[in-house]
Amino acid sequence: MGICAGCLTGRYFLECDVRITDGEGRLMIERLILAALIVAATVLFWLPVQKRLNFLKPAKGTLDFNDFGRRFGRWIREVLFQNRVISQRPLAGLMHAFVFWGFVFFIPETLHHFAEGFGFSLLGHGGFHASVSAIVSVWAVLVIIGILYLTFRRFILRPEGLGKKLSASSGLVAVFIVVLMVTYLLRLYSLEQGTLAYTINWWIHALTILAFAVLVPHSKHLHLVLSPLTTFTKPFHLAEVKPLDFEKEEFGAVELADLDAHTALGAFTCVECGRCQDNCPAYQTGKVLNPKQIMLDLRQGYLSKGNAPVVADEILPLEALWQCTTCGACTFQCPVGIDQVIPILELRRGLGAEGEFPEPMTALMKNLERNGNPWGYTQNQAEEFLDEHGYPAYENQDVLYWMGCLARYDVQYRQVSLAFTRILNAAGVDWGVLREEKCTGDAARRAGNEYQFQELAMENVELLNASGAKKIVTTCPHCLRTLEEYKELELNADIEILHHSTFIDTLLAEGKLKLTGDKTVKAVYHDPCYLSRYEGEKGRQTPRAVLRSAGVELVEPERTREKSFCCGAGGAQMFNEETAGERIPHVRTEELLRTGAKEIAAACPFCPIMLRDALAVKDVTDVPVKDIAEYVADQL
């Protein structure tokens, strides 16, 4: 005697009129097989996942769960609503979101499916389950549309960011997903319950789920499991560098275990989508550096070397480490919460502790040590400029103007400083400067010389705390970022630190600045990386608002706002030699010139230097590069 098809899945075991010992035995065997398969798939899934998570244990620090509410809100936006996935690649992002959202809706149906195999019904057999199934079936269709488009894109269109090598696991996953959706829809709308076809379809669906689970840890699809955690625990700021404690013998990353826990997690979270590489100025100009490959090399290093000590050049090319501008484009684009800049900076710090800098950077280090600025100018040269133009010393005024090295020493950028002081005076702002100000150490820190950075930082921190300043305004986004980092080195945490674009915008809004409005000019605005990405939406919108107030007709380049292309100066690259591929500032300047704008507007002291050099190489003499402060000052 046999058993009815419904009993094979246990769907009607309690109601079935067939009561045959042979059938009950076969039913029991079926359920034991199903249970064994579930256990086996769970073990085969968990063991490799556990192996990868074990690399977090010896890593530096722990995953960060502080400020839970803020993290949870970001998690909702970036994971559940997929806003970063969609906003940066709208079509591909939406198709990916269809697949993700479909699987979220599939969770209760999947649990119900396996419960059926053991004679239970999690969702019942009535109207509630019918309603759930109707909703999920819509998502099943959207998932099929999404996965077919993504498969077409990966295997037919084959954009460079996805890699030249075709991925067998990606093809297999696509097949699994289509099979899951089709078998689900067949079960709902085509196959009759209790038939052999229905039973076979049920088992195909179940086995595909289990096979999918076994495949996930061995492929890039592990991001399905890890990315929610990586996104939740990622820092709130791009490339958030933590100070080293030299008394505890912290010297940066020399071995894999020296990298932080979030970096180790990120190495196994990488989905290999290539968004980072597509937006990396180094990679896009023919350099060795590829932020995606950095994470894949780290992943391979963990898996092949385990916890054995591994120095940087054993797992990735050292040349790549010194090509990063720290622009943050990779981190900003990453849809799964990885910060690719951090391991680069940590490995630089490890090399820097041994004095292993590129030769061109040695002059930077010597000048910072001897003169407190990157170019070797003397303090007297700054003081002569301050005295000549009547810069008041800071004595508890409302605003401390942090000039930065270029405003104090560079002949061209001093004009920006003078324009900004005209604005301060026109608005009736009570302000002053610190005559003893030294370089913030931004270039030293980003080059990996943490010891020199902290020496400069502690001198400046002592000056700032002693000054009693409550509000600092700077024209340099790099100073802005680094001064905020001083708060981890005992700088008064209550000090407000602003970029001059934000401060000018406030003065305009309060009616403290009266502009003539009699001049208009067509200009293209070049977004500095340390504003457009490091400072978020405010860093993108505020400079534009100020420029428009100053009568500037703005045109946008091809890559703009959060997708802005770096000038090439950040990450201490201004003090390095760019020898591989095209020069980053040359590529950026070509983009800006293609807009047809008559002027280039900037909001960072580094950018004009790089862009002017590129204009000179191209023999372009009639396109000036001006700071937003100069545009405003011209309208006073």
The domain boundary, picked from 185, 211, 231, lies at 231
> What is the dihedral angle through the alpha carbons of 554, 560, 561, 562, rounded to the nearest 10 degrees?
180
Q: Answer yes or no: is pLDDT of 20 > 70.
A: no
Give the pLDDT band of residue 194 (cuts 50, 70, 90). Answer: confident
Regarding whether 170 and 290 lie in a shared domain, the answer is no
100 falls within a domain: yes
Regarding whether 547 and 496 lie in a shared domain, the answer is no
**How many CB atoms are closer than 10 A to CB 627?**
25
- What pLDDT shows up at residue 314? 82
Instruction: Provide the whole-model pTM.
Output: 0.91
Regarding whether 495 and 535 lie in a shared domain, the answer is no
**Beta-bridge partners for 265:** none
The domain boundary, picked from 356, 377, 408, lies at 356
What's 609's domain CATH number?
Answer: 3.40.50
pLDDT single digits (tens) 349-358: 999 998 899 9
Give the pLDDT band of residue 379 (cuts 50, 70, 90). Answer: very high
Considering the chain, what is the average pLDDT of its residues? 92
Q: Answer yes or no: is pLDDT of 12 > 90.
A: no
Name the strand (E) or helix (H) holding 137. Answer: helix 127-152
Per DSSP, the residues of 298-341 read HHHHHHHHTTS---GGGTS-HHHHTT-----HHHHH-TT---TH
Regarding whether 500 and 526 lie in a shared domain, the answer is no
What does the alpha-carbon distance between residue 120 and residue 619 come to, in Å, rounded to a whole number? 78
- What pLDDT shows up at residue 15? 40
Regarding whether 441 and 372 lie in a shared domain, the answer is yes
340 falls within a domain: yes
pLDDT single digits (tens) 483-504: 999 999 999 999 999 999 999 9
What letter represents residue 513's amino acid?
A: L
What does the alpha-carbon distance between residue 584 and residue 286 come to, in Å, rounded to a whole number? 10
**Pair 446, 529: CB distance under 8 Å:** no
Q: Which residue has the tokens 């490959």?
A: 293
- The mean per-residue pLDDT over the stretch 162-174 comes to 89
Buried b (16+ CB within 10 A) or exposed e, 35-52: eebbeebeebbeebbeeb
Give the pLDDT band of residue 9 (cuts 50, 70, 90). Answer: very low
In angstroms, the first-to-last Cα distance of the chain is 98
Asked which of 59-63, 406-410, 455-459 is least confident by mean pLDDT, the reply is 59-63
Regarding whether 397 and 288 lie in a shared domain, the answer is no
Give the pLDDT band of residue 302 (cuts 50, 70, 90). Answer: very high
Regarding whether 270 and 159 lie in a shared domain, the answer is no
Q: Mention every residue, 6+ apart, whose C-beta is less than 8 A from residue 511.
A: none
Regarding whether 247 and 227 lie in a shared domain, the answer is no
- What pLDDT shows up at residue 463? 97
Could you tell me the CA-to-CA distances from 606 to 213, 280, 413, 475, 555 in Å, in that order?
50, 19, 9, 11, 21
What's 458's domain CATH number?
Answer: 3.40.50.1860
Give the pLDDT band of residue 193 (cuts 50, 70, 90). Answer: confident
| Tally of structural domains, the chain | 4
Give the pLDDT band of residue 2 (cuts 50, 70, 90). Answer: very low
- The mean per-residue pLDDT over the stretch 517-526 comes to 88
- The mean per-residue pLDDT over the stretch 27-44 comes to 94
- What pLDDT shows up at residue 211? 97
- The mean per-residue pLDDT over the stretch 472-476 comes to 98
pLDDT single digits (tens) 211-249: 999 999 999 999 999 999 999 999 999 999 999 999 999
Regarding whether 173 and 30 lie in a shared domain, the answer is yes
- What pLDDT shows up at residue 23? 65
Q: Answer yes or no: is pLDDT of 3 > 90.
A: no
57 falls within a domain: yes
- What pLDDT shows up at residue 518? 75
Regarding whether 376 and 282 lie in a shared domain, the answer is no
Buried b (16+ CB within 10 A) or exposed e, 486-507: beeeebeeebebbbbbbbbbeb
Give the pLDDT band of residue 166 (cuts 50, 70, 90). Answer: confident
- What pLDDT shows up at residue 18? 41
- What pLDDT shows up at residue 144? 98
pLDDT single digits (tens) 574-590: 999 998 999 999 999 99
Regarding whether 252 and 109 lie in a shared domain, the answer is no
Regarding whether 613 and 529 lie in a shared domain, the answer is yes
pLDDT single digits (tens) 537-558: 999 999 999 999 999 999 999 9
Q: Answer yes or no: is pLDDT of 21 > 70.
A: no
Q: At what angle do helices 341-352 and 261-269 cross, to 10 degrees?
A: 130
What's 332's domain CATH number?
Answer: 1.10.1060.10
Asked which of 147-156, 165-174, 398-407, 437-446 is least confident by mean pLDDT, the reply is 165-174
- What pLDDT shows up at residue 14? 36
Is 494 in a helix, a strand, or coil? Answer: coil
362 falls within a domain: no
Percent of the chain with pLDDT over 90: 85
Domain span at residue 319? 243-356
514 falls within a domain: no
Q: Answer yes or no: is pLDDT of 155 > 90.
A: yes
Rg for the chain, CA atoms, rounded = 30
What does the alpha-carbon distance between residue 231 and residue 404 come to, in Å, rounded to a whole number? 34
513 falls within a domain: no
pLDDT single digits (tens) 47-105: 999 999 999 999 999 999 999 999 999 999 999 999 999 998 999 999 999 999 999 99
- What pLDDT shows up at residue 461? 98
The domain boundary, picked from 231, 253, 275, lies at 231
Give the pLDDT band of residue 307 (cuts 50, 70, 90). Answer: low
- Please state the φ and ψ torsions of residue 74, each to the nearest 5 degrees: -65, -40
486 falls within a domain: yes
**Beta-bridge partners for 602:** 627
Could you tell me the CA-to-CA distances from 492 to 203, 398, 411, 486 in Å, in that order?
64, 16, 32, 9
**Pair 268, 227: CB distance under 8 Å:** no
Asked whether the CA dihedral 8, 14, 19, 24 is positive or negative, the reply is positive
Asked which of 304-318, 461-475, 573-587, 604-618 is least confident by mean pLDDT, the reply is 304-318
537 falls within a domain: yes
- The mean per-residue pLDDT over the stretch 501-510 comes to 97
